[in-house]
């Protein structure tokens, strides 16, 4: 499997988990560590990560990647959500920048994963 294939699958995973299969409701408790909404969200990321990669990489490698991605994704989302929850009066441009930085961290996580398996 090529690095490009792995990166593509991880980006598809991100799209599916963040936008297509993210719960229809917007949990108001995602700023609380261990909340149902945040755990459901990271669970969706881990499910799709495992499902899309298991046919292409050894299952042990996929398990490590899935746990790593879930750990980073959960904590990055938590930090972002906690920060924004405490600062509700921030201008939209700043909020968008923070959300964009959150997405950049997710993409850089995928770069690290591709580096790990290459």
Question: CA torsion angle for 116, 63, 44, 9 (degrees, to 10)?
Answer: 40
To 10 degrees, what angle do helices 3-15 and 36-53 make? 150
Closest CA to 73 of 46, 101, 97, 98: 46
Domain range summary for the chain, segments of one domain joined by +: 3-117
Q: Copy the structure tokens of residue 75.
A: 């904590």
pTM above 0.85, yes or no: yes
Predicted local distance difference test score (pLDDT) of residue 85: 85
Give the C-alpha distances (Å, rounded to integers) separating 61 from 20, 87, 92, 97.
26, 39, 40, 33
List the pLDDT tens digit at each of the 118 positions of the chain. 699 999 999 999 999 998 898 865 555 666 788 888 889 889 999 999 999 999 999 999 999 999 999 999 999 999 998 898 888 889 999 999 999 999 999 999 999 999 999 9
What span, in angstroms and rounded, lies between the C-alpha atoms of 114 and 52?
14
């Amino acid at each position: 499997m090529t690095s490009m294939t792995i990166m593509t699958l991880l980006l598809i995973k991100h799209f599916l988990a963040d936008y297509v299969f993210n719960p229809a409701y917007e949990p108001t408790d995602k700023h609380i560590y261990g909340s149902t909404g945040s755990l459901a969200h990271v669970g969706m990321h881990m499910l799709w990560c495992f499902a899309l990669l298991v046919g292409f990489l050894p299952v042990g490698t996929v398990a490590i990647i899935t746990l790593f991605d879930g750990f980073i994704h959960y904590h990055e989302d938590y930090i972002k959500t906690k920060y924004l929850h405490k600062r509700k009066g921030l201008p939209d441009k700043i909020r968008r920048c923070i959300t964009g930085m959150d997405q950049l961290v997710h993409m850089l996580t995928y770069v690290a994963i591709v580096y790990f398996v290459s």
